[in-house]
């Protein structure tokens, strides 16, 4: 039986293990921490429960496909969100967006003044890009010749002019909408893969179609239920997990052209195939000592990172829903600070996720669990105690201004996650949440591949490689690796 060693138990690592085990491979996953999940874990702080990482759940069919891979689907339940997100603009305008296209178009027209027909026209455009580029370029390796021999890829290539790759997201969105608030609303989807809408190609406008055509969801056990369900399925199939097992080295033959296994806690473990769910930069720099390759990755612009405050907040706040956005007054300047100046803008856009709106047990009675996040540069040294204190105050001031009342005295529990801690806990280089950014026209083709032509039988999955970060793309990276392993 072919043996496989997987480095890391993020969702991509577990998903890859499930797919290969279902094909009959002998799979073992090695994880440095005590539990599976990578960024997708949870924690109790006082009497509050928090999902620590990703908070948006789209395309549940990707999880269900894995859970049903042996025809024996376990119970995996989730809420369908009636409200995708509540938006607060600096001019005092507010918007509650649903996943129904007609309803959201009408809401935007009433709340912001953007003509309904502009919204519907834009959503058709977004869906068109998704149909042309979505499955073809996100579910296949961009670095294998055989990909470009597929009829479906040829069909998409013939329509490449329709995916809007030559304009930036902002330029495209500005051509559709009259109101700057609407432009800002749809520009924000660049942050879903840690990019800058003023530089990223308009092809990324396909992201919004996932929410407004398919909806958004929340697992009934919280986001961590995705990890738990995949982990349980992997174990049922016979995948072995070794926790507290830090991989120190990837073993290659004397010629340096074939992978032979891994070194774990000083012990050599030989296997036919090795798959790294670790950040590609650290895989090359730490586990392979391939400094030239690591430097090439380092030359690519990092995606954004995050500064997250986990707050246990007293009181119920009816203006807020599961997902909430408080927009910056100057969106373009905010991204200039993040990507060019490598600083945090004094008026950052604030995102608040409150799972206790649907999962009552996540907070004590008459309280809420606030996951409060701002997008920041992947620059760990920036987040000194003094800077964090300043950013926190700016965040609180912004929230209080929009809600119309004080919240500071109602925060009874707090923990903070910085880019430095993200790097330390998840081996994400510089704390970048999505590996490299998509701020250039053809960034997708420069993102590290799911394999290396230099070393046979070594593969890569996860957010730092193709097709990118976020739960759906990480799951698709596992699908791609499964496709290219013979």
Q: Say yes or no to pLDDT of 152 above 80.
A: no
Q: Which domains can be identified in the chain, with CATH numbers?
A: 3-41+58-73+221-300+447-484 (3.50.50.60), 118-211 (no CATH)
Least Cα distance to 181 among 322, 320, 84, 87 occurs for 87
Q: Residue 78: what pLDDT?
A: 97
Per-residue pLDDT tens over the stretch 229-281: 999 999 999 999 999 999 999 999 999 999 999 999 999 999 999 999 999 99
CB of 122 closer than 8 Å to CB of 176: yes
The mean pLDDT value for 279-307 works out to 96
Q: What is the dihedral of CA 97, 102, 106, 112, to 10 degrees?
A: 50
Per-residue confidence band for 165, with pLDDT thresholds at 50, 70 and 90 = confident
- Write the CB contacts of 151 (distance below 8 Å, at least 6 apart in sequence): none
**What count of Cα atoms within 13 Å lies in the side-chain half-sphere of residue 65?**
12
Split at pLDDT 50, 70, 90, the class of 138 is confident
What is the average pLDDT score of the chain? 94
Contact 282, 297 (CB under 8 A): no
For strands 273-276 and 458-460, give the pairing: parallel
**Predicted confidence (pLDDT) per residue in 23-81, tens digit:** 999 999 999 999 999 999 999 999 999 999 999 999 999 999 999 999 988 889 999 99
Closest CA relative to residue 40, chosen from 202, 255, 267, 225: 225
pLDDT at 388: 98
Write down the pLDDT at residue 88.
Answer: 98
Q: Phi and psi of 343, rounded to 5°?
A: -135, 170
pLDDT digit string, tens, across residues 407-455: 999 999 999 999 999 999 999 999 999 999 999 877 777 799 999 999 9
For residues 401 and 141, the model is more confident at 401
Q: What is the 3-state secondary structure (H, E, C) of 63-115?
A: HHHHHCCCCCCCCCCEEECCCCEEEECCCCCEEEECCCHHHHHHHHHHHHCCC
């Amino acid at each position: 039986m072919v043996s496989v060693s997987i480095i890391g138990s993020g969702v991509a690592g577990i998903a890859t293990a499930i797919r290969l085990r279902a094909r009959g491979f002998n799979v073992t996953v090695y994880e440095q921490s005590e539990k599976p999940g990578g960024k997708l874990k949870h924690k109790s702080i006082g009497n509050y429960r928090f999902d620590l990482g990703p908070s948006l759940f789209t395309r549940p069919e990707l999880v269900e496909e894995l859970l049903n891979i042996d025809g024996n689907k376990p119970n995996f339940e989730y809420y369908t969100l009636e409200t995708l997100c509540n938006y607060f603009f600096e001019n005092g305008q507010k918007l509650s967006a649903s996943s129904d296209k007609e309803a959201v178009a009408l809401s935007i027209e009433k709340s912001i003044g953007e003509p309904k027909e502009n919204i519907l026209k834009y959503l058709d455009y977004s869906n068109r890009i998704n149909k042309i580029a979505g499955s073809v370029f996100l579910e296949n390796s961009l670095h294998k010749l055989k990909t470009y021999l597929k009829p479906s890829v040829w069909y998409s290539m013939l329509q490449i002019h329709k995916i809007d790759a030559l304009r930036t997201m902002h330029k495209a969105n500005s051509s559709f909408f009259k109101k700057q608030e609407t432009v800002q609303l749809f520009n924000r989807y660049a942050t879903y893969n840690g990019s800058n809408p003023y530089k990223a190609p308009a092809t990324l406008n396909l992201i919004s179609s996932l929410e407004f055509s398919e909806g958004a969801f929340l697992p009934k056990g919280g986001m961590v239920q995705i990890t738990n369900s995949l982990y349980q399925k992997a174990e049922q199939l016979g995948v072995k997990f070794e926790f507290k097992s830090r991989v120190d080295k990837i073993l290659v033959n004397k010629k340096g052209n074939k992978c032979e296994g891994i070194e774990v806690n000083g012990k050599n473990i030989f296997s036919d195939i090795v798959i790294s769910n670790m950040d590609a930069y650290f895989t090359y720099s730490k586990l392979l000592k391939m400094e030239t390759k690591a430097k090439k990755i380092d030359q690519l612009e990092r995606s954004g990172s995050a500064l997250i405050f986990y707050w246990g907040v007293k009181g119920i706040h009816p203006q807020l829903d599961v997902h909430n956005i408080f927009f910056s007054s100057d969106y373009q300047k905010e991204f200039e600070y993040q990507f060019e100046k490598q600083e945090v803008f004094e008026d950052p856009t604030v995102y608040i996720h409150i799972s206790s709106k649907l999962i009552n047990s996540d907070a004590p009675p008459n309280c809420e669990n606030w996951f409060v996040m701002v997008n920041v540069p992947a620059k760990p040294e920036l987040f000194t105690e003094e800077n964090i204190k300043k950013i926190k105050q700016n965040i609180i001031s912004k929230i209080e201004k929009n809600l119309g009342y004080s919240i500071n005295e109602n925060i009874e529990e707090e923990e903070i996650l910085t880019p430095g801690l993200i790097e330390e806990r998840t081996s994400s280089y510089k704390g970048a949440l999505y590996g490299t950014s998509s701020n250039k026209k053809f960034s997708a083709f420069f993102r590290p591949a799911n394999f290396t032509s230099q070393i046979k039988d070594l593969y890569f999955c996860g957010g730092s490689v193709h097709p990118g970060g976020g739960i759906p793309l990480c799951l698709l990276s596992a699908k791609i690796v499964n496709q290219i392993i013979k």
